[in-house]
Amino acid sequence: MALQARQPSGNEVRIALPADPMKTLSIRRPDDWHLHLRDGAMLRAVLPETTRHFARAIIMPNLVPPVVTAADAVAYRDRILAAIPDGATFEPLMTLYLTEGTDPADVAAAAACGLVKAVKLYPAGATTNSSSGVRDLTRVMPVLEKMAEIGLPLCTHGEVTTPEVDIFDREAVFIDTVLDPLRRRLPELRVVMEHITTEEGAAYAAEGGETLGATITTHHLIINRNHILAGGIRPHYYCLPVAKREKHRLALRRAATSGNPRYFLGTDSAPHVDALKEHACGCAGCFTATNTMPLLAHVFEEDGALDQLEAFASLNGPAFYRLPVNKDVLRLEKRPEPNAFPEKIASGAGPVTVFDPGFPVHWHVLP
């Protein structure tokens, strides 16, 4: 059969290839190891987009006010459970938002009863709703020492916020000046580098050993900074950490498709209503819950690595978090007709634009 191939020049050519042997794919049901569900009307609108394909998700705690204590996490978990659509099964894996006032005993109790699976470090000012985050890491050392002792992972938003550091360099500088010194000081601490966006991040994670994991988003496998800035500013591609230049996207593609257990899927699906994205000071976040799995199948197939999709989306995350792999499966099928993703989903708070990959996607998730 004839497939279309893209030459480096961008010209389409038709070349004869043997029939595609793999049109369907069955993988263990995936999990999302970094997800923003928000609250209230937005929670009710976006949760079904995740429960359709994913069995579990690590739930980010950056609400306003943030999810700081075990009691906050119980209450938020109950609101999420109440919003799960009829017939769906989904387990929210709760996290606590680390502040300079966090009590190590509260964290330890929340972990011991299984309520909380990680604590999230937001450097103050790094991203959406991070103003209660950490300014001085020495102030949270008692919490981090307790987490190292009990094996509770620290999820890091890995960007420095120093104004002098260029926004495109913030991840690499964070690794050198914050993450690496912290891991040397507390080698037992289990750390997830959340949403890595650079070849430096991918390389550091590759060498990190079993105490280190790294999540990679769907959108950072697809867009580079040109998508945000060339030919007009495109707010729906603006997220944090901001997408970098092409060589970094390619490094993330190699990492995600490598099968290396250090890397796993965290979509960082982060809904904001259009009015706040299409704004003079637009919010950061790409909403990818709806179409992540077809997009990943497309990406992994393009890189000749469909056989690694299960490791990335369904196996490596549970292994890091010491949780069982899901028993049921997700089936995907490649069809001649492209997927018709909704352009937007409605929420009681306003419309939310679904991430547009900019190319047709022929992989469909089977019901």
Give the nearest distance from C-beta 255 to ligand NCD in angstroms.
Answer: 19
Q: How do 329-334 and 363-365 pair as beta strands? A: antiparallel
To ligand NCD, the closest distance from the beta carbon of 240 in angstroms equals 4
Distance, CA of 200 to CA of 334 (rounded, Å): 34
The answer to whether 268 is a known catalytic residue is: yes
Q: How far apart are CA 91 and CA 316, in angstroms?
A: 18
Binding residue for ligand NCD, selected from 70, 186, 196, 240, defined by CB under 6 A: 240
- In the window 216-245, what residues touch Zn ion (CB under 5 A)? none
Half-sphere exposure of 64 (CA within 13 A, CB side): 4
Give the nearest distance from C-beta 45 to ligand NCD in angstroms: 15
Per-position x/- string for 128-147, each x denoting binding to ligand NCD as judged by CB under 6 A, each - no binding: x-------------------
Residues binding ligand NCD: number (CB under 6 A): 11
CB of 363 to ligand NCD, least distance (A): 24
Of 51, 62, 198, 291, the one binding ligand NCD by CB under 6 A: 62
Decide: is 285 part of the binding site for ligand NCD (CB under 6 A): yes
Query: Which of 91, 171 has the CB closer to ligand NCD?
Result: 171
Distance of closest approach, residue 243 Cβ to Zn ion, in angstroms: 14
Taking CA atoms, 290 is separated from 44, 46, 47, 316, 347, in Å, by: 14, 9, 10, 22, 14
Residue 159 binding Zn ion, by CB under 5 A: no
User: Using CB distances below 5 to 8 A depending on partner kind, what does residue 128 bind out of Zn ion, ligand NCD, none?
Assistant: ligand NCD
Indicate which residue of 78, 268, 303, 328 is catalytic.
268
Binder of residue 285, out of Zn ion, ligand NCD, none (CB less than 5 to 8 A by kind): ligand NCD
- Indicate which of Zn ion, ligand NCD, none lies near residue 239 (CB less than 5 to 8 Å, by partner kind): ligand NCD
How far out from the chain centre does Cα 60 lie?
A: 10
Pick one of 284, 323, 325, 365: the residue that binds ligand NCD (CB under 6 A): 284
Distance CA 4, CA 323 (A): 41
Which residue's CB is nearer to Zn ion, number 69 or number 95? 95
d(CA 260, CA 47): 29
Distance between CA atoms of 267 and 217, rounded to whole angstroms? 4
Check residue 268 for interaction with Zn ion (CB under 5 A).
Answer: yes
Residue 127 found at the interface with ligand NCD (CB under 6 A): yes
Q: Is 222 in the site for ligand NCD (CB under 6 A)?
A: no
CB of 19 to ligand NCD, least distance (A): 40
| 268 near ligand NCD, rule: CB under 6 A | yes
Show the binding pattern over residues 22-51: x = contacts ligand NCD (CB under 6 A), - = does not. Answer: --------------x---------------
**Among all residues, which ones are annotated catalytic?**
268
The site for Zn ion (CB under 5 A) is made up of 268
Contacts with ligand NCD by CB under 6 A lie at 36, 62, 127-128, 157, 239-240, 268, 270, 284-285
